[in-house]
């Protein structure tokens, strides 16, 4: 069957409009926050978009905001958004167990795509996918907290670096860190910093040798 020229033009125009809409559409964004007074940190906020670009914020409740940028690898980004998708991007879902459990901090998961925003709040959940998603965000947060500690000690307390690096080694061995490659730029500064203890340089280099680079 022949399609008239004007029909082909209409199809081409529709296809082009579809491509333009996909390109111009803002990336989806996921946000995880945990608020728990007395914990460390008391307030945790992690945001990541579908391209892996994100920000981290960990602080006391009365401290000023100071988000730090980071970049997740494609596999971790895809896993985070896949888990959110299996949870229907938090649309009309109840994740709280509604059981009498200790206060573990208020957790909020938010999915945003353009003007569409879905949000769910809970203290404790028994949903396996939600727990994996929270664990992933928390593991990324742990890496960022280590970076903040290392940078503080590099500037104000370099003698404490070996102990912090030992803790990172232990957590790396236990697979408790997500995206450990985010640590690499900071570890490089320590490994090649002449003013740091040899033990700190050695432990930093050991981690560099074991952590795979970004994919």
| Mean pLDDT, range 184-201, rounded to an integer | 97
Amino acid 212: pLDDT: 87
Half-sphere exposure of 80 (CA within 13 A, CB side): 32
| Mean pLDDT, range 143-171, rounded to an integer | 97
Residue 5 lies in a domain: no
Look at residues 180, 179, 203, 175 and name the one whose alpha carbon lies nearest to residue 191: 203
Asked whether 127 and 117 are in contact (CB, 8 A), the reply is no
Residue 14 lies in a domain: no
How confident is residue 162, by pLDDT bands cut at 50, 70 and 90? very high
Q: How many domains does the chain have?
A: 1
pLDDT at 134 over 80: yes
pLDDT in tens, 66-123: 899 999 999 999 999 999 999 999 999 999 999 999 999 999 999 999 999 999 999 9
How confident is residue 54, by pLDDT bands cut at 50, 70 and 90? very high
Q: Which residues sit opposite 30 in a β-bridge?
A: 48, 111
Amino acid 213: pLDDT: 80
Residue 32 lies in a domain: yes
Asked whether 183 and 146 are in contact (CB, 8 A), the reply is yes
Distance CA 19, CA 205 (A): 46
The pTM of this model reads 0.85
- The continuous run of DSSP H or E covering 147 comes out as helix 128-156
Residue 7 lies in a domain: no
Domain that holds residue 196: 25-210
Amino acid 26: pLDDT: 85
Q: What is the mean pLDDT of the chain?
A: 90
Residue 3 lies in a domain: no
């Amino acid at each position: 069957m022949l399609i008239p020229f004007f029909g082909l033009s209409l199809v081409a125009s529709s296809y082009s409009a579809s491509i333009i809409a996909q390109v111009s559409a803002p990336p989806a964004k996921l946000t995880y926050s945990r608020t728990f007074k007395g914990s460390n940190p008391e307030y945790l906020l992690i945001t990541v978009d579908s391209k892996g670009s994100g920000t981290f914020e960990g602080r006391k409740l009365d401290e000023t905001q100071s988000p730090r940028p980071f970049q997740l690898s494609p596999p971790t980004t895809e896993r985070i958004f896949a888990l959110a998708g299996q949870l229907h991007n938090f649309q009309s879902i109840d994740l709280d167990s509604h059981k009498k459990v200790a206060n573990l901090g208020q957790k909020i998961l938010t999915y945003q795509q353009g003007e569409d925003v879905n949000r769910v709040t809970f203290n404790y959940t028994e949903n396996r996918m939600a727990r994996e998603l929270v664990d992933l965000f928390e593991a990324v947060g742990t890496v960022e907290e280590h970076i903040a500690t290392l940078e503080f000690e590099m500037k104000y307390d370099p003698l404490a670096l070996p102990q912090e690096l030992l803790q990172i080694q232990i957590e790396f061995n236990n697979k408790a860190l997500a995206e450990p490659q985010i640590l690499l730029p900071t570890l490089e500064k320590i490994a090649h910093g002449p003013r740091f203890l040899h033990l700190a340089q050695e432990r930093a280099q050991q981690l560099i040798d074991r952590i795979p680079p970004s994919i």
